[in-house]
Amino acid sequence: MPDDSPATVTGTAAIQSYLRTLDTSPGVYRMLDAQARVLYVGKARNLKARVTSYARPTGHSPRIARMIDETASMMFLTTRTETEALLLEQNLIKQLKPRYNVLLRDDKSFPNILVSAEHAFPQIKKHRGAKKEKGSYYGPFASAGAVNRTLNQLQKVFLLRNCSDATFESRTRPCLLYQIKRCSAPCVGYIDEEGYGALVADAERFLSGKTTAVQEQLAAEMQAASEAMEFERAAALRDRIRALTQVQSAQGINPRTTAEADVLALHLDGGQACVQVFFIRSNQNWGNHDYYPRLGGEEDAAQIMQAFVGQFYATREPPRLLLLSHGLDNPELMAEALSESAGRKVEIAVPQRGEKADLVASALRNARESLARKMAESQAQTKLLKGLAEAFDLSAPPGRIEVYDNSHIQGAHAVGAMIVAGPEGFEKGQYRKFNIKGEELTPGDDFGMMKEVLTRRFKRLLKEDPDRESGTWPDLLLIDGGAGQVSAVHEIMAELGVEDIAMIGVAKGIDRDAGKEEFHRTGQRPMALRHNDPVLYFVQRLRDEAHRFAIGTHRAKRAKAVGATPLDDVPGVGATRKRALLAHFGSAKAVSRAGLADLKAVDGISEGLADTIYGYFHEQG
């Protein structure tokens, strides 16, 4: 007898059951399959009308028809306006990542340049994340590399410090940056507050787009120094002007009439898409970034661009102007939603002529070239994965490879690292680090560390996705080690009940020479690949990337530990009060030995906090 219970009804019948409870309010709807997984998130001006359209048995594209057939239930959230519905829709898409939505896969934040305002001699530095620190922020820049290049040149031009406040306070003589003419050495009094303030003002004028005025001023100063026969100062000013010119030439396109805009260009080819984003701020190009949204297969350019813009600015502040290569499904609604989100007017345009059209054309050319490179790399990667499957007798080319490595120094600051690779190459957003917690481990016990890492990794997978349907389960594990390591890992996987995942141990061969690696698999003899085999180079790249990530993670942990002080753990002592205490006493050890009266004498330390600090170190002792 067939099962006709409501839980198993799918398709139009399941959707029709909701019609009698819906009204004409705007809102957001979710379509879920029989396992309650979200298939699609959408917004509607009129929820009842939109759901009615899905309840019709015909007239749908193949993709929508598949989605309807899989739908077993729906969820609804009504909103006051369609604009609210659009904002909520984009946030839910980013959070839930439904299978049938166009999805922005790369969601990293962009760095800014910060000129701090909490010190008499402001620091210039890279900043990423929430803008909590006081100061002037300039950005966004397309990448950390773009920021670092700009900071490097700005140091040459404006001689601003990049050291931390703690380092600044502790200097007794100028550092190397002063010697190579990258800093004016305010830490040791080689420039006074007024002179340094003038340099800061020049840097902020440049970052605000007033580059011509800055260059003219430097040129005038150079001429005056030359006429006064101050040739060393004139040469220094000449070098600063040259560095300033290098910054501008590195920026490429610097529009004259477009002060602030994001330029978004979409190119489609072979069912794949690339969106190129250029950041224009203060009439300067601050870099570009390419994105490859996941498509359902039947979306047109307007739908893709609408989804991309909504998701891209769901967690980012939009500029005053968006220049697009293709129009949106509903540009007025999107402009209203972005304006509401930003708290000011945001315009959306598809320029047809003039400088703005030239900017879009340049972004479009970059999108086309980027997608061509991506498709070529994807084909090469597919070939390598197929070769990997053939070389190691895998049942199919792996869709997800996880590579594990450990890093430590005699057991100290031990970390485990996992990198992920697949048809799209390295999936850096999927990388994971594991702080080794096992207190019973013998220092340097690589087997014990690997057991902890894999146990934590697969226990979490078993808890979050026991049916292996999320795409986060690996098809292949690569382990750095030989037969002993492979045997130990196999035992761990067997204990967890996941021994069906293919595993390869990569061991250094004779003389630990790259190219002579031996490969170990459970229950099989060691094997090697010929020296010039592309699969061998591929495995080497995977292993080296895991090693690079593990080493970098270990160094970061070690550096953090080296920079830590006992003050970090004192309740109520944040960065500002920590600086005040260190400046007053000279070291954390001196703070721990200070008397209560001395602690109360520090600026910014209240009587209550002084009692807390004094009590903390007495209890610790």
Dump the DSSP string for 81-124: SHHHHHHHHHHHHHHH--TTS-B--------EEEEE-SSSS--E
H or E segment at 492? helix 483-496
**CA 415 to chain centroid:** 21
3.30.420.340, 3.40.50.280, 3.30.360.10, 2.40.128.20: which CATH number matches 401-561?
Answer: 3.30.420.340
* pTM (two decimals): 0.68
The pLDDT of residue 234 is 77
Tokens of 557: 């942990």
Q: Which residue's structure tokens are 């030239």? A: 358
- Residues 261-372: name the CATH superfamily: UvrC, RNAse H endonuclease domain (3.30.420.340)
CATH architecture of 6-96: 3-Layer(aba) Sandwich (3.40)
CB 27 within 8 A of CB 85: yes
The pLDDT of residue 4 is 45
Cα atoms found within 13 Å of the Cα of residue 159, Cβ hemisphere only: 24
| Cα 491 to Cα 495: distance, rounded to the nearest angstrom | 6
Which segments in the chain show pLDDT lower than 50?
1-6, 250-252, 512, 620-621
Tally Cβ neighbours within 10 Å of residue 207.
24
Domain ranges of the chain: 6-96, 112-250, 261-372, 401-561, 566-620
Fold identical between 261-372 and 401-561?
yes
**Distance (Å) of CA 393 to CA 57, 101, 380, 397, 518:** 46, 36, 20, 10, 16
The pLDDT of residue 513 is 53
Residue 210 is classified by DSSP as -
| Cα 320 to Cα 367: distance, rounded to the nearest angstrom | 23
> Class of the 566-620 domain?
mainly alpha
